[in-house]
Structure 1
C-alpha cells in the first residue's frame, strides 16, 4: 500500500455519534463538530483523496461503538477510507475490509498480539496500517493511557517485517494543541522502514504540513487545524504539490 503522492488527509474522529477533536487524546477536552457524514462529505468535496476515521469510543473501550456512522460514511463517499478504534481481532478487520474500508488501523491489538498484522495482511495485502502513538518517546496504547516500553522505530521495523502496509505515527505530546509539529521522530521513522509513514499530531499551519512532507512522511492526518479553519484542505494540498 502506498500513497501515489503526498496527501493531506482530514480526520473524522467520532465520539457518541459526533465528530470531535481531543487535546492529547484526553476525554473531556473534546470540541464538537457535528455530524460525521456531513463532515466526510465536506472533506471529499474539498478535494480529500483519503479519509481518516477513528471510532474514539472504540479506542477507549476496546470495542467498536460507532459502526452506524462508519457505515453511513462508506455509503456516502467513494474515496479511500482508513479506520481505527476498537479493531482488536482478525474477524473485526476482515469484516470492515469486506464492508468497504480500504485500510484498518491497528494500535492496541498490534502491540498485544503482533501476529494479527501478518494474519490480516496474508488475506488482504497492504491493508493494515499499524498505529504507533508516542508519548515521551514511548509507544502508548489503550487510548494513549498505557505505556508499553516500546521504542517507535524498533516497533515500526517489527510491524513492517510482519506485513504492515503503512505506519501511522501520532506524536501525542503535540496532538490537538495546534502548537506545531516535531519532525525529528517522523524523520527517524521514515528513514527506518520501507513502508509509508503517515504523520499525525500538532499541525497548526500549512508550513507544518510542508515540514512533515520534507521529513519523509507519505501523508499527514489533520484534524483540529482544519476544523478550526486555520487553513483549507486545498491550501495545504496546494502547498505540498507546488513544492514537491
Structure 2
C-alpha cells in the first residue's frame, strides 16, 4: 500500500485545516518545497498536493509553489484544488505532475469526467470529499445532495478508475479514519480507492491496508509527529 504525505497549500505556505474549515488553519511551514524534500528524504515515494486557495477560487492559485515542488522534490506528485477545465489539466501534466485530482468538476459534470477519464486514463483521479456522507464541493464550502457512494457508482460507470475518499469530519482531527464509510464507498466504486482523513496511528494504516485501500494520505499526524514515516513505510 502506498503511503502518501499530504501537502496543503494556502497563501504559499504549507498548512492543515481542521475538518476542512478555512477559519481553523495551522501553518506548519513557510516553504512547502522544503517540506516535500523532507518527506522524500524520510522515504516517501509519492506526494499529494492540494491548492486550498485554488479549491475555493475555482482555479489554481499556488501554481508557483507547485512548480517549485515539482522541480525540487524529485518525486511523482498528484495535484488537486481548483482544477475545473481541460486546459488546467494539460498545464499541470505538461509541468510534470503525475496525476490530476478532479473534485467539484466531477460533481457538476460527470459526463465530461467520463470523457476526460477516457482521454487521460490513469492520469485522472477523482477526489470525493464527504461530510456526514454527503459530497462537499467548492473547497469544502458547499455540500451537495449527492451521497459519496452514489457519486462513486456514477463516476465508475462513466469511466473513473481511481478515487481518493476523504471524510472531512475526520480530516485534521488526529482521531481515526471512518472505516465504515470507507468500506461503503469502496464497495460502491468497485475501483481503486486511496483513503484520507483521520489517520494518526500505525494501526490505522494497517486497518486500511486490510480493508483494501490502494494507498493512504497522511497530513496533520506527520506534521505534529504523531506518526513517523519510518514506522509505517
| Common topology (TM > 0.5) | yes
Alignment of 1:60-209 (within 5 A): 60-209=56-205
Alignment of 1:228-243 (within 5 A): 228-237=224-233
1:39-92 alpha-carbon deviations (Å, 9 max, x no partner): 001111111111000000001121110000000111113322110001000111
Do the aligned partners of 1:93 and 1:120 also contact (CA within 8 Å) in 2? no
- Runs of 4+ in structure 1 off by over 4 angstroms are none
| Corresponding residue SS for 2:24 | coil
* Contact persistence 1:121–1:163 (CA under 8 A): yes
Residue 27 of structure 1 aligns to a residue in which SS?
strand
Q: Give the Cα separation in 2 of the matches to 1:66 and 1:92.
A: 13
Alpha carbons 1:191, 1:216 under 8 Å: kept? no
Deviation at 1:145, TM superposition (A): 1.9
Say whether residues 1:220 and 2:208 are aligned partners.
no
- In structure 2, the residue matched to 1:240 is none
Aligned residue among 4, 10, 26 for 2:5? 10
RMSD, aligned CA: 1.2
Whole-angstrom distance in 1 between the partners of 2:123 and 2:155: 13
Rounded to whole Å, the distance in 2 between the matches of 1:7 and 1:66 is 26
Instruction: Give the TM-score taking structure 2 as reference length.
Output: 0.95
Alpha-carbon shift at residue 195 of structure 1 (Å): 2.2
Task: Kindly state the Cα deviation for residue 192 of structure 1 after the two structures are TM-superposed.
Answer: 2.8
2:48 paired with 1:20? no
The count of aligned residue pairs is 232
Greater fraction strand: 2
Q: What is the CA–CA distance in structure 2 between the aligned matches of 1:27 and 1:158, rounded to whole Å?
A: 29
Partner of 1:241: none
2: CA distance, partners of 1:165 / 1:76: 29
- 1:50: which partner in 2? 46
Q: Structure 2 unaligned segments of length 5 or more: list them.
A: none
**Counterpart Cα distance in 2 of 1:143 and 1:188:** 23
2:28 counterpart (22, 30, 33): 33
Residue 127 of structure 1: how far off its partner (Å): 1.2
C-alpha contact (below 8 Å) 1:41/1:76 kept by paired residues: yes
Give distance in 2, aligned partners of 1:100 and 1:115: 26
**More displaced, 71-80 or 225-234?**
71-80
TM-score normalised to structure 1 length: 0.91
